A and B are shown apart, each in its own frame.
Chain A
Amino acid sequence: MAYDKFEILKSTAVPLPVENVDTDQIIPARFLKATERVGFGDNLFRDWRYNPDNTPKAEFVLNNPVYKGKILVGGKNFGSGSSREHAVWAIYDYGFRCVVSSFFADIFRGNCLNIGVLPVQVSAEFLDKIFAAIKANPDTEIEINLPNQTITLLESGDQESFDINSYKKENMLNGYDDIDYLTKMKSEIQEFASARPF
């Protein structure tokens, strides 16, 4: 088993209504120098979260104790830019298990699924609803139900379903990853490799 199983997550959420949040913002390059996967959460959104003298920026959402939870809600085109998996490690290490947006960058989405963070893509209208609900009440609870593939605003009952392919869904539900799968294919892979022209 490669990571925690994911079934139903009920939590408040942290809103970040900014579009095109790129992975350089999620974790700036100068924090990519570790050779182990530890401590990345401390530098999540580093330059939005801290002043150059390392004092917290009061206006940034992660520094506002009113907002907390295991769900991060971001604007359209979340996770664009660099392929650094460190961005998802930082999100995970900080304590998030799910990211919600109306649109994800490809590599970022794949990285999320590979380490057990669930990317939930909703319609632009539903995203607006989530932001509005959190604004009205920061304690708004959201339920992410992976078996049913639904996201629900528990207070209003507003609900939408989301897509995930059945292979990845199985993986998330059981905490398996692709390496577990590929390890079982070794002889098939070796046979294929021997027939390659270069």
Chain B
Amino acid sequence: MSKTLFDKVWDSHVIRKINDGPDVLFIDRHLIHEVTSPVAFLGLKSRNNSVLFPEKTFATADHNTPTINQHLPVEDPLSANQLKALEQNAADWGITHWGLGHQKNGIVHVVGPENGITLPGATIVCGDSHTSTHGAFGAVAFGIGTSEVEMVLSSQCIMQPKPKKMRINVNGKLGFGVTPKDVALFMISKLSASGATGYFVEYAGDVFKNMSMEGRMTVCNLSIEMGARGGIIAPDEKTFDYIKGRLFTPKEEAWDKAMDYWKTLKTDADAVFDEEINFIAIDIEPMITYGTNPGMGTGISNYIPKAESVEGGVASYKKSLEYMGFHEGDKMIGKKVDFVFLGSCTNGRIEDFRAFASIVKGRKKADNITAWLVPGSHDVEAKIKEEGLLDIINAAGFELREPGCSACLAMNDDKVPAGKLAVSTSNRNFEGRQGPGSRTLLASPLVAAATAVTGVLTDPRTLLINN
């Protein structure tokens, strides 16, 4: 029978099917961080269970970590306590742990791929919804809750019903100044923040084929923002080139064997999806959000839609605009911005810093902007320096911080103050996500850069040289 890529990976990991119940799914790779794992380890202990396969779990500290002075002790006692718990649990069970200051430390969804933990055809879970990121490699990857973290620790399995399948095809060539982030925000704005709930999404078509691995990660990362369990893209030469030779990637014979398997990982020509959606690349322009969920986005040159023209509840829509301090019909370009955040597991990779640098090069940071530039990992940080991007960024009046989740979720010291407006390359514009009372506009690194040098929301195409 014909199968989709998702079917092939999922089905080959099912140990048992329960009638009118979930599948028992084997997990190849388990990533953990300090926030969602401590209670799972407590549960493990209270049930007298042990970690079944410690070599399949990998720990990194990211959510709570400060992004300056990482060599000093963490000031917040609660954060320090969680970091300590992660370190201790990892040590107790023999789990690889990249704590603060470790050369391999960084955001869980950035360091996984960088170190060959993320592989095509694998099942990957983490107590974090943006685990969908790893689908960029043809893995079935999704976020789980803490109870499930405990399940994976003790049994290397979780129990989940198989999601439905959706394919989104985007064909044609992307316009000037349009990035993978814009493609994702465009799809979310069309499907809404809940439009793909219950589905696993395969991304197909020219646009994803031509996209870099970093870009594919950005797109898959944001799958959860339209409600999907995860996103997946068929692995190709680009994928294999990316993973080859990394720390945990299979080597020599094991590599050849894995390659034989990986090459079978594509959707059969006549496989059927529960839902199929088509978009055309040329319809996508640089995107910006204006509300308090990622589905409330539009082309940057547009005006905020009227409540009557949007689907769903008018009251919730108005409440959202009220929180943002915006009005129906407002123009987005030209809005005065206070903060710019470049980073997160969505846009904290080398390509994102290259994009940012391409705009700020030879320009100066606007005086009214506070900018946080936060690499996703030490590896990214090292590349920024190697490629000379740091010099460009510094010359324009920006500084680089140390790796971590930073202002993406305001669990650490990087918080946007109440009432302030931030252009952020992260993934969520929920009320208070970047700090109590903060207001967030989600955008690409190019939009962030253009705004950082002008001080107001700016269409990056006006600052880029089109050649």
Contact = CB atoms under 8 A, between A and B. Distances in A.
Contact of B160 (A75, A84, A110): A110
Contact of A83 (B79, B81, B128, B198): B128
Interface in B146-165: 146-148, 150-151, 154-161, 163
Interface string B229-267: 100000000000000000000100010011001000000
Contacts of A18: 316, 319
5 contacts: A18-B319, A20-B194, A24-B409, A105-B197, A189-B157
Chain B interface, >50% SS class:
loop
B18 interface: yes
A35 interface: yes
Interface of B: 15-16, 18-22, 24, 26, 28, 35-36, 38-39, 42-43, 47, 49, 52-53, 63-64, 76, 78-79, 81-82, 85, 119, 122, 127-129, 143-148, 150-151, 154-161, 163, 193-194, 197-198, 227, 229, 250, 254, 257-258, 261, 293, 312-313, 315-316, 319, 409-411, 418, 428, 430-433, 436-437
Contacts of B156: 189, 193
Contacts of A52: 418, 436-437
Contacts of B24: 182, 185
Given A24-B433, A76-B312, A77-B194, A178 B428 contact: no
Contact of B410 (A19, A30, A83, A186): A30
A29 B129 CA distance: 14
A179 B143 contact: no
A179 B431 contact: no
By CB atoms of chain B within 10 A, which of A47, A81, A103 has the most?
Answer: A81
A164 to B, nearest CB: 10
Contacts of B63: 29, 32
B306 to A, nearest CB: 18
Given A18-B316, A107-B145, A186-B52, A77 B227 contact: yes
By CB atoms of chain A within 10 A, which of B26, B198, B430 has the most?
Answer: B430
B237 to A, nearest CB: 20
Given A20-B193, A32-B35, A77-B193, A189 B78 contact: no
A197 interface: yes
Contacts of B316: 18-20, 75
3 shortest A-B CB distances, which residue pairs? A167-B21, A85-B145, A33-B78
B26 A106 contact: no
A76 B317 CA distance: 13
B158 A178 contact: yes
B127 A33 contact: no
A111 B145 contact: yes
Interface size class for chain A?
A: 35 or more
Contacts of A32: 35, 63, 411
A33 B78 CA distance: 6
Given A77-B197, A106-B197, A193-B26, A24 B432 contact: yes
Given A75-B316, A106-B197, A198-B258, A189 B155 contact: yes
Contacts of A103: 194, 197
Contacts of A33: 35, 64, 76, 78-79, 81-82, 411
A149 B22 CA distance: 19
Contacts of A29: 63, 409-411, 433
B36 A83 contact: yes
